[in-house]
Amino acid sequence: MANKGQRRREKRLAASRIVPLLRKAHVWHIRAKPGPHKRKNSVALGFVLRDLIGITQNARETKVVLNQNLVLVDGKAEKDSRRPVGLFDLVSVLNEKKTFRVLFNRKGELSLAEESFGSNEKICKVVGKKVVANGITQLATNDGRSFREKKTDADVGDSLLIQVPEQKILKVLKETAGKMVFVTDGKHIGSIAEIKGMDEGTMGRPKLVTLQTPDGEFKTVERNIIVVGEEKPLVRVE
């Protein structure tokens, strides 16, 4: 017989390396469904509530909390326990009066950093740009958002400081020398660094970025960084 849709669960041993779990403690874990973040770079909201925050003990308790509209993701109530949650997302638990920002730690795993309750600013990276009808510029970001602007100086690779859930662009952060970035993949994942220089890529070679940290200088491909500020990060990144 043919498959009847996507799998709702996944063995812990097969989980992405970014999922912080004890792989041999149990057999299964909650599998994130397709959504605004790539599955390899996200975890299910139910996993965040049960295993990272610890406000629920099992799937039934998680569903009860979600169905009461007590959990917000980027300022919007969310009821789906399998909704993917990824980098820089804001998860708020109303009855606990707590807000958490999703980050990568130095082990390459997703982790949570507690913010002041009600924080509503996040950073996303522009991954697509095109002109649509009536000369409107449409920007696509790494977290599945789409912005339609009459005039913008944002380009692919730049970052947007936005206000959620209004989806209002507060500031455009250009991907240029001197800016602070957060490393999202590779050996230095979870690091904060300063851009020292950029080497243009070709059709066969990706753009390379030279970064400076207190521990030294290194290079990585451009897709592994997100600009988070000018002299210092504009949001919490560690």
What does the pLDDT look like over 66-119, one tens digit per residue?
Answer: 999 999 999 999 999 999 999 999 999 999 999 999 999 999 899 999 999 989
The whole-number pLDDT of residue 68 equals: 96
The pLDDT of residue 59 is 87
* Cα–chain center distance at 101: 9
Q: What is the structure's pLDDT at 4?
A: 63
The rounded mean pLDDT for the chain is 91
Q: What is the pLDDT, as a whole number, of residue 23?
A: 81
CB within 8 A of 233, min separation 6: which ones?
Answer: 180, 182, 192
User: Does residue 238 have a pLDDT over 90?
Assistant: no
From 166, 225, 167, 165, select the one nearest 195 (Cα to Cα).
225
Average pLDDT in the 124-133 region?
94
If you average pLDDT over residues 155-163, what whole number do you get? 96
Average the pLDDT over 40-44 and give the result: 89
What pLDDT is recorded for position 26?
Answer: 79
CATH architecture of 180-229: Roll (2.30)
Contact between 112 and 20 (Cβ < 8 Å): no
Nearest to 123 by CA among 159, 99, 174, 74: 159
pLDDT above 90 covers what percent of the chain?
A: 73
- Confidence at 231, pLDDT banded by 50, 70, 90: confident
CATH of 9-115, one of 3.20.20.370, 3.40.50.720, 3.10.290.10, 3.50.50.60: 3.10.290.10
- Among 177, 126, 123, residue whose Cα is nearest residue 153: 126
CB-based contacts of 134: which residues, under 8 Å, 6+ apart?
Answer: none
Segment 142-149 long-range contacts (CB within 8 Å, at least 24 positions apart):
142/37, 142/87, 142/226, 143/36, 143/37, 143/86, 143/87, 143/88, 143/89, 144/35, 144/36, 144/37, 145/36
The highest-confidence range among 18-22, 104-108, 156-160, by mean pLDDT, is: 156-160
CA 32 to the chain's CA centroid: 14
Alpha-helical (H) ranges within the chain are 45-47, 59-67
The DSSP letter of residue 158 is: -
pLDDT at position 6 over 70: no
Q: Give domain limits for the chain.
A: 9-115, 121-173, 180-229
pLDDT of residue 22 exceeding 90? no
User: Can you tell me the mean pLDDT for 128-143?
Assistant: 94
Asked whether residue 140 carries a pLDDT value surpassing 80, the answer given is yes
pLDDT at 3 over 70: no
pLDDT at position 133: 87
pLDDT of residue 205: 86
Second-level CATH architecture of 121-173: Beta Barrel (2.40)
Residue 1 has pLDDT above 60, yes or no: no
Round to whole Å and give the CA distance between 58 and 33: 19
